[in-house]
């Protein structure tokens, strides 16, 4: 049982009459794994989450969550173990935070007393306990988002689907949130999170999937994606005062003629370059910057766009 993945999608697609929302996706998510889902608006992230939640059925392919197809009646008990934070949800405005959470806890199968106790504990965990007796309409955007997170955490889910979880959160709350994700992960919870906000996500995800207009562009660990993208590393030595321009080995890595000593080096040449730099007596410091998630993301998107354009030209010639 532990060997079989928690979530698996095989050749899954979702077609609407005038739109292909998702195109043959293959994906597996194991217990305790965190998957980041990246893509522009309309890339199919939300559609994929809805398919995993069983709110919609796939046009083709197979979705399997905890051993059942999520859109069938058998998925009943699976739903108790799944938490979902939708994008832009506005809760019942006239209810207090505590009432909202108690209601949802009851729907997850908690008894009246248990649900209230559980709701209070969750509100304390996300830091909205001080405002739990106030109506939701008085909440700030960040507080609403925290309430949404608390809602997703009801019933200690085994699988969490979070759509834009950090939108509206301040940096401290964002850090708190990722800490919670790490904690849940160590308890064996699997998490799928979609985000537009790329910086800060990298340390907390095991694998990333990049989607664009319904197609999966890339999936793998960040290291794998980086290797595949083969993006250069930026090296910035300090204290050389332009000496590099005379160096025949290193000058070719300089970003451009005028740039102050920034080298863009392919991954494989990293160590050689660093050794050469260290040979300089006057060197005072070196900054090494790997391609970040955002650059990796941009790379895959631009690859796809090129592909798209050739596709368009073919279509134009045909018509």
Partner 1 sequence: MSQILAVAGKEFHDGLRNRWLISITIIFAILSIGLTYFGAAASGAVGVTSLSTTVASLASLAVFLIPLIALLLSYDSFVGEQESGTLLLLLTYPISKTQLLIGKFIGQGGIIALATVLGFGSSALILYVQINDVEVLRLFGTFISSAVLLGLSFTAIAYLISLSASEKSKAAGFALIIWFLFALVFDLALLALLVGVEQGVSQQGLTQIMMFSPSDIFRLVNLAGLDSSDVNGALAIAIKSSLSQGQLFSVLLAWVVIPLVGANFIFKKKTL
Least CB distance to partner 1 at residue 48 (A)? 14
**Residue 144 or 226 with smaller CB distance to partner 1:** 144
Least CB distance to partner 1 at residue 210 (A)? 25
Buried b / exposed e across 218-241, counting CB within 10 Å, b at 16+?
bbeebeebbeebebbbbbebeebe
Q: Which of residues 75-94 bind partner 1 (CB under 8 A)?
A: 76-77, 79-80, 82, 84, 86-92, 94
Rounded to whole angstroms, the Cα distance separating 210 from 231 reads 16
Least CB distance to partner 1 at residue 171 (A)? 26
Q: How many Cα atoms are found within 13 Å in the side-chain-facing hemisphere of 302?
A: 8
Least CB distance to partner 1 at residue 82 (A)? 7
Q: What burial class does residue 306 get, using C-beta atoms within 10 Å of its C-beta: 0-12 exposed, 13-18 middle, 19+ buried?
A: exposed
Can you tell me which of 35, 37, 53, 173 binds partner 1, judged by CB under 8 A?
53
Tokens 């899954």 locate to 12
Question: In which element (H, E) is residue 265 found?
Answer: strand 263-265
**Residue 79 or 207 with smaller CB distance to partner 1:** 79
Least CB distance to partner 1 at residue 315 (A)? 29
**Residue 50 or 146 with smaller CB distance to partner 1:** 50
Among the candidate windows 35-43, 98-106, 168-176, 294-302, which touches partner 1 by CB under 8 A? 98-106
Q: Assess 204 for contact with partner 1 (CB under 8 A).
A: no
Q: Could you tell me how many residues of this chain bind partner 1 (CB under 8 A)?
A: 27
Count of C-beta atoms within a 10 Å radius of residue 121: 13
Rounded to whole angstroms, the Cα distance separating 169 from 172 reads 8
Q: Which token pair is 185?
A: 């992960």
Strand 190-194 versus strand 159-163 pairing type:
parallel
**Residue 70 or 237 with smaller CB distance to partner 1:** 70
Q: Assess 108 for contact with partner 1 (CB under 8 A).
A: yes
Q: Which of residues 156-175 bind partner 1 (CB under 8 A)?
A: none
Q: Long-range contacts: 127-133, Cβ < 8 Å, 24+?
A: 127/173, 127/176, 128/97, 131/97, 132/96, 132/97, 132/98, 132/101, 133/96, 133/97, 133/98
Q: Assess 54 for contact with partner 1 (CB under 8 A).
A: yes
Q: Give me the residues that bind partner 1 (CB under 8 A), please.
A: 50, 53-56, 76-77, 79-80, 82, 84, 86-92, 94, 103-104, 106-109, 111, 151
């Amino acid at each position: 049982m532990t060997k079989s993945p928690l979530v698996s999608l095989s050749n899954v697609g979702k077609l609407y009459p005038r739109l292909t929302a998702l195109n043959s996706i293959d994906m597996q998510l194991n217990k305790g794994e965190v998957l980041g889902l990246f893509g522009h608006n309309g890339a199919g992230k939300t559609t994929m989450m809805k398919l995993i939640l069983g709110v919609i059925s796939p046009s083709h392919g197979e979705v399997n969550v905890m051993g059942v197809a999520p859109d069938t009646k058998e998925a009943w008990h699976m739903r108790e173990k799944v938490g979902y934070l939708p994008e832009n949800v506005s809760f019942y405005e006239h209810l207090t935070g505590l009432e909202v959470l108690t209601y949802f806890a009851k729907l997850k199968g908690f008894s009246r007393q248990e649900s209230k106790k559980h709701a209070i504990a969750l509100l304390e965990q996300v830091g909205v306990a001080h405002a739990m007796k106030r109506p939701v309409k008085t909440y700030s955007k960040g507080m609403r988002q925290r309430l949404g997170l608390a809602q997703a955490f009801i019933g200690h889910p085994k699988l969490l689907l979070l759509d834009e979880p950090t939108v509206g959160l301040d940096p401290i709350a964002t850090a708190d949130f990722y800490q919670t994700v790490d904690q849940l992960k160590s308890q064996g919870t699997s998490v799928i999170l979609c985000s537009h906000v790329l910086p800060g996500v990298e340390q907390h995800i095991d694998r990333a999937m990049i989607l664009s207009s319904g197609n999966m562009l890339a999936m793998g660990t960040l290291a794998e994606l980086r290797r595949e993208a083969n993006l250069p590393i930026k090296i910035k030595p300090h204290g050389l005062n332009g000496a590099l321009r005379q160096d025949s080995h290193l000058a070719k890595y300089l970003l451009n003629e005028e740039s102050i000593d920034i080298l863009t080096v392919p991954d494989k040449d990293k160590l050689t370059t660093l050794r050469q730099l260290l040979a300089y007596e006057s060197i005072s410091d070196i900054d090494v910057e790997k391609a970040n998630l955002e650059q990796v993301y941009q790379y895959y998107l631009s690859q796809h766009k090129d592909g798209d354009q050739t596709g368009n030209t073919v279509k134009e010639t045909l018509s």
